Amino acid sequence: MNTPWTRRQLTPLGSIRLRAVLLSAALLFMGAGWLSARGRTPRLRSVEMKHADLSGVDLSGSDLRGAAVVDSQLIRADLARANLSGADLRKSNFCGASLRGASLKNADLRNALFVGADLREADFSGARMEGAYIDGAWLWKNRFEGATYNQYSTFPQYFEPTLCGMRPIWKN
């Protein structure tokens, strides 16, 4: 019996994609209320994902401390009140995502994209934001003390990073 998922037909790239799809499906299942029905929120501490498509996933209130979700799609994902402290979120796409009240303390957000994201009351203290694109995001009552940015970081026109306690890091 020759199925499309036989081992000899699965390339290393296909294997990575299959694992990302299976993990995405598991997270969708958890986000659908499986864990919250028991009064618990998903605990995904130190989970590692690369190139994962988590678009539309509901991870509100999740514990994602130290997670590595690098170069992933989190378009319209619900991460409200999630704890992403120390997470590695480099090159991830958060367009239209809700991170309202999320903790991103000391997170690595280099080259992350936040166009149209709801970032109200999110805590970015100590985060690395070099090259991050935040223009078009909804900012209100945020904390940026000690966060870093560089000449490639893009913020809304009204936003002045140094007045919010951010530190510039300029490279030649």
pTM, to two decimals: 0.76
Residue of higher predicted confidence among 120 and 9: 120
SS (H, E, C) the chain: CCCCCCHHHCCHHHHHHHHHHHHHHHHHHHHHHHCHHHCCCCECCCCEEECCECCCCECCCCECCCCEEECCECCCCECCCCECCCCECCCCECCCCECCCCECCCCECCCCECCCCECCCCECCCCECCCCECCCCECCCCECCCCEECCCCECCCCCCHHHHCCEECCCC
Q: What is the pLDDT of residue 49?
A: 85
| Domain regions of the chain by residue span | 10-172
Average pLDDT value for the chain: 82
Please give the pLDDT value at position 45: 75
Q: Which fold has domain 10-172?
A: Pectate Lyase C-like (2.160.20)
Stronger pLDDT, 98 or 37, i.e. the higher one: 98
65-110 tens-digit pLDDT:
999 999 999 999 999 999 999 999 999 999 999 999 999 999 999 9
Percent of the chain with pLDDT over 90: 67
